[in-house]
Amino acid sequence: DSGVTQTPKHLITATGQRVTLRCSPRSGDLSVYWYQQSLDQGLQFLIQYYNGEERAKGNILERFSAQQFPDLHSELNLSSLELGDSALYFCASSVGGDFSGNTIYFGEGSWLTVV
Partner 1 sequence: TQLLEQSPQFLSIQEGENLTVYCNSSSVFSSLQWYRQEPGEGPVLLVTVVTGGEVKKLKRLTFQFGDARKDSSLHITAAQPGDTGLYLCAGDGRNTGFQKLVFGTGTRLLVSP
Tell which positions 52-91 bind partner 1, by CB under 8 A: 55-56, 58, 90
One residue of 24, 49, 109, 114 binding partner 1 per CB under 8 A: 109
Helix (H) / strand (E) element for 96: namely none
Size of the site for partner 1 (CB under 8 A): 24
Query: Would you call 84 helix, strand, or coil by DSSP?
Result: helix
Can you tell me which of 5, 45, 73, 75 binds partner 1, judged by CB under 8 A?
45
Dist CA 82 CA 79 (whole Å): 9
Q: What is the DSSP pairing of strand 10-13 with strand 110-114?
A: parallel
Residue 108 engages partner 1 in binding (rule: CB under 8 A): yes
